[in-house]
Amino acid sequence: MIMIFRSFVLALVVYGIAITASAQLAFNPRDETPEEFPSGAGRDETFYACTACHGFKLVAQQGMSRQRWDDTLTWMTEKQGMPELESEERKIILDYLESTFSPKAPAGRSAPNPFLKQ
């Protein structure tokens, strides 16, 4: 069991691939799609609510509690011009954010081990 577990963890450690976008003359943000991000109920609603203004990568690199996500949505509506969310939609979005981008799962910046090659 322990050995299986170790292999499982090590497999997770080595994921990650580099993507080099092709050269271009001016910068156009890449079009993101909801499918690039962790699946779950409410993913698409969350994706479209956030990407009306900013990239979803900004969301996906966070790891916050429901309370802090809730505060962030309040800040977005009060200070950043986000349209007010209806309570049902807000709940759907918070459920997704809480379950997917919690403090325990900081997705954003982990790097592959430079010394392990497959």
Residues that bind other proteins (CB under 8 A): 1-2, 5-6, 9-27, 29-30, 32, 36-38, 51-55, 57-58, 60-65, 67-68, 71-72, 75, 79-82, 103-118
Q: Which is nearer to other proteins, 17 or 87 (CB)?
A: 17
Q: Identify whether the C-beta of residue 64 lies closer than 8 Å to the C-beta of residue 72.
A: yes
| Nearest approach, Cβ of residue 67 and other proteins (Å) | 6
| Nearest approach, Cβ of residue 45 and other proteins (Å) | 19
Q: Identify whether the C-beta of residue 29 lies closer than 8 Å to the C-beta of residue 66.
A: no
113: closest CA among 12, 3, 38? 12
| Nearest approach, Cβ of residue 23 and other proteins (Å) | 6
The Cα 102–Cα 107 span in angstroms is 9
